[in-house]
Amino acid sequence: MLETYILGIESSCDDTSAAILHNKRVLSNVIANQEVHSQYGGVVPELASRAHQRNIIPVIENSLQLAKINKKQISAVSFTRGPGLLGSLLVGVSFAKAFAYSLNIPLIEVDHLKAHILSHFIVDEKNNVYPSFPFLCLIISGGHTQIVKVNSPLSMELLGQTIDDAAGETFDKTAKILDLPYPGGPSVSKAAEKGNPFKFNFAKPKIEGLNFSFSGLKTSFLYTIRDNLKLNPNFISENINDLAASIQRTIVDILVEKMILASEITGINEIALAGGVSANLKLRNTFTDIAFNKKWNLFLPQLQYTTDNAAMIAIAGYFKFLNNDFASFDVTPYTKTSF
């Protein structure tokens, strides 16, 4: 078997990450989070690009040290081409080009969303079962909510997606309304632990087929708060856990219902979750119960591969490497989804 060492670089949003894979096995996966955004309640693109610029070299050096390899052993460099924030992407793309050019090794462009899906094939001490093809993957991240039919590592079909907000964005906006810290998903989920998920009912969208909508839910949440604050100025603080648990339950219900439909329509029972929101415990538990009832083979990513990381960029790069699918050196980032 061909021995490959792929360097993966991720810089699409607010995490600067570098990983090294030996074939499909992770040797290192270093992530520098950017604390600077928490005070603004969301990612500030200009600040994100500057932080990537500061972090990229230390993160790469750290990934090489942890992997205990020399940069001359690297077979190819894979990087996130998009979607994401342009200024952030440019840092990773430019670094990847310079690195590959100086070592005279191939450059591989990777789609961030496809990489979230392919994170299921990363090999490490805990990962030893993998989805078989074709499988359905629900990608739930800060910017995307999509159902994808995965025919092979290099062949994927989009079956449905959100027509407005993403699931992660809904968690983040909810947190902002409740004055909980950014990123919203983990803080809403924490508040929800002590709350009653059936205390409040919010309007669920009525969207045909496999598309999603979350903007009506966000409005319903906002109006519930606004109307109740008129009657009780302490409404949020007195109900914060129940509000968090109820909105979390509604988001999870919407996602579960669509995946059940997707499985029925396609006849596929091999189901995977991917993206930052798939770290949510309530979501993982609910999907596990449904999988048991519906006899699905369910694949939940390990927590370190749910949110943005470069190991997933390296595994996506590995599959392209095997296919000799290389990028040219005049490649530029894209900001919108490629599906």
Which of ligand KG4, Zn ion, none has residue 280 at its interface (CB below 5 to 8 Å by kind)?
A: ligand KG4
Q: Which is nearer to ligand KG4, 14 or 242 (CB)?
A: 14
Stretch that binds ligand KG4, among 43-51, 148-156, 183-191, 263-271 (CB under 6 A): 183-191
Contact with Zn ion (CB under 5 A) among 148, 239, 308, 319: 308
DSSP 130: -
Helix (H) or strand (E) holding 110: strand 107-111
Rounded to an integer, what is the distance from CA 55 to the centroid of its chain?
21
Residue 139 C-beta: closest distance to ligand KG4, Å:
8
The answer to whether the CB of 161 falls within 8 A of the CB of 147 is: yes
Q: Compose the 137-176 pattern: x for residues touching ligand KG4 by CB under 6 A, - for all others.
A: ----xxx------------------------x--xx----
Stretch that binds ligand KG4, among 88-96, 102-110, 123-131, 182-190 (CB under 6 A): 182-190
Q: List the one residue out of 281, 290, 297 whose CA is nearest residue 261.
A: 290
Q: Which is nearer to ligand KG4, 6 or 312 (CB)?
A: 312
Give, in degrees to the nearest 5, the angle at Cα 50 between 44 and 52: 100
- List the structure tokens of 246: 């109820």
User: Tokens 């339950």 belong to which residue?
Assistant: 249
Distance CA 255, CA 120 (A): 19
Considering only residues 263 through 322, tell me which ones interact with ligand KG4, judged by CB under 6 A: 275-277, 279-280, 307-308
Q: Which is nearer to ligand KG4, 74 or 110 (CB)?
A: 110
- List the structure tokens of 84: 């994401």
Tell me, what amino acid is at 151?
N
Distance CA 302, CA 309 (A): 12
Q: List the one residue out of 186, 115, 142 whose CA is nearest residue 43.
A: 142
Contact with ligand KG4 (CB under 6 A) among 131, 186, 195, 333: 186
Q: Which is nearer to Zn ion, 64 or 314 (CB)?
A: 314
What residue ranges bind ligand KG4 (CB under 6 A)?
13, 141-143, 168, 171-172, 183-186, 189, 275-277, 279-280, 307-308
What residue ranges bind Zn ion (CB under 5 A)?
141, 308
